[in-house]
Structure 1
Amino acid sequence: MLRVPVALKELRGLLRAFDRESLSLDIEEETLARLAIVGPVNSGKSTLVNLLAGKRISPVAAVPGTTEEVITQQLGPFTLIDTPGFGEVGGVDRGDIALQAMREADLTVVLFDGAAGLRQEDYNLYQELRAEKQSLVVALNKIDLIRRDLKLVLADVQAKLGTSVIPISAKKGTNVAKLLLPRIIEMRPALAVALGRELPLYRRRMTRSVIRNTSMLNFLIGIEPIPFLDIPLLLASQVRLTLRIAAIYGEAMGPERAKELLSTIGGGILFRYATQQALKFLPGPGWIISGLIAAAGTWAMGRVAVAYFESKKVLTGAQMRELYRRLRSLPRRLNLLPLFSHKIGSFFGRLRRGRS
């Protein structure tokens, strides 16, 4: 779900999108995003890095302190970082190296050993990391080795740390794709481009996230009551979406080519937005429906763009238009618009609570 600060940041980004050079630089910057994984000795950092990469890029062993320096794997412009453990044996402490790696990252995953339980040094580590004022996602690893009631263990850890904790097993992959990755993208949506581009196992999941967030943003743009005022922002948002999807699939594409692809998929601008704009003359319900149509059209555009790049760009214009037509009608046929409206209501509820 697109959070309020993220939505505002995206809207500011769309204003930059009218400058083609700025838009291209924004997308390029997203491909350079970095994810740091830090934690105590033997918490499973290397195992998690290897799971995400789909191959062994960092040494794994049961002996504390196996990683002797920051181990990085350059996956295109994106770097996964597995840092040395804090408080290592033999009086060696390379925590400063890990902190520096964290400062250079866009987001940090803090990993604790669930089998060992939350120790005082773990609590101290978390407080030290939190003092850095960086974005953190906390995960409790090795839940497959926990013999006690997992819910009780998780509740205890969350109470002590004062934050939400995601239970995972890096060894078996439990909750990594289901819970951990969605939280990472929720915290830093721009990471979806880098993760999807360099981690093929999660590419479709990342494109779904990008499409969903852009659709939510375009709902907010689409409820603008003045006809035609929202069209430039909707177009810029869809161009930005297309460029993000292209980047995820490793395709070089500029804004002009993205506009051409959108026109091929959905026809001309007036054809795409005619019904949506007409609804703006019906105050209240018409504005909401206008937003829903903008969101549904964006969702369909994104799905067709994914199909185009997955086909190695062999889909014809006629095939893309037919797929777009079928996808645009899908939310209505599946009765998904009421569900989408409920999510929008939840979004505005959080917006009101944030202002109070």
Structure 2
Amino acid sequence: MDENLPSKDRSLIPLGEGAQRIWDDLPNELREKMSSTLDQLPGDMKGWRRLIDRAVDHVRLVVGRKRIVAIVGPINAGKSTLYNHFVRSKTERARVSAVPGTTREAQQADAGIFMVVDTPGADVKKDIAAEERLKALRAAMQADVLVVIFDASHGVLPPQQELFDNLRELGKPMVVGLNKIDLVRREVGEVVNRAAVALNIPSEEIVPLSALTGKGVEKILTSVASLEPEIVAALGAALPEYRGDLCQVVIARAASTAAVIAMTPLPFLDFIPLVAVQTAMVMTIARIHAYKITLSRARELIATFGLGFLGRTLFHELSKLGGPPGWMVAAAVAAGTTTAMGYAAATWFERGERLQSEALRRISRRVSEQLVGRLRSLGSRRRRKSVIREQVTDTLSDFAQQNRSSE
């Protein structure tokens, strides 16, 4: 689950002079709140897309007009490939080709938390390329934030240095990316340092990335967000919903695994792998909420909620309901108690509150009973693991929907 976990400390986010001024001008309390939000942003594009889905309405309320982010840089630096990572609608994606100069016109699309503009190569002044350069510079002038992309495999050449100086003169908040880092055979740090010297900026202000593989693209997003406090505020407002979405995925995965484990003919809840699954779930939920806990602490937390006794009690109670097969009850109760543990952990790390025993019993029973009902409708024959996982996932989806409806 690392890809969905919070991002790095804000001190690692490349901040240029303009960005630093923005942060320095914020009141201390607001700056601390914004910094805390940035610390919790996702660690890759999959997580970012989940968060952006949740943040769109908040951006509309907090920001009003969406900021315009223009991707500018030399010809064939990978601007369109990066642009396509940000675009939400597939129909608005840019055409990508190995042929230099594929992008001839600036094009704009919705990236959810901002509008993004792809521009033609802007480092060539001759013939038809001169017109494309003007289009790129015009788009840069109209943008609120610039993402300036260079090609790591070629380095920063004199025409590109001149382009960068021209863009700096616009006085726009700026993020500098060094793309195609996957093609560099030498030490990445050395390549970044050379680019920094050529551009006359600190190497810490350069984001190494590969738009082709997606590596480092999330750091561009985090850096862009750091330039706009309103965007950070909107992302912060969406974080609880985003974390809730992630926790649902983690809980469903753990519950389905627990159900499959419990189908084995061993004493219920004494099977070590089941405890291991629940422990891993608790640790992942903690990390989603930007907490770091040890393996022993996670096990202590599970023991504190007393789900072992609850599971055995529930197993005996459900076994009396018309005689469903033992494997079915065991799978259902394992899924139910694991779900309850997941909800308890999410509540604890999100709000610092402990779920009461009655709430744990209610969650365990409801999930277990619903899953038994689903499995019985398929017949008493033991089902394949894939079928069990599918039924658990559907049961938890229904359970989550019922919870939202009752709130």
* TM-score, normalised by the number of residues in structure 2: 0.43
Q: Higher Cα Rg: structure 1 or 2?
A: 2
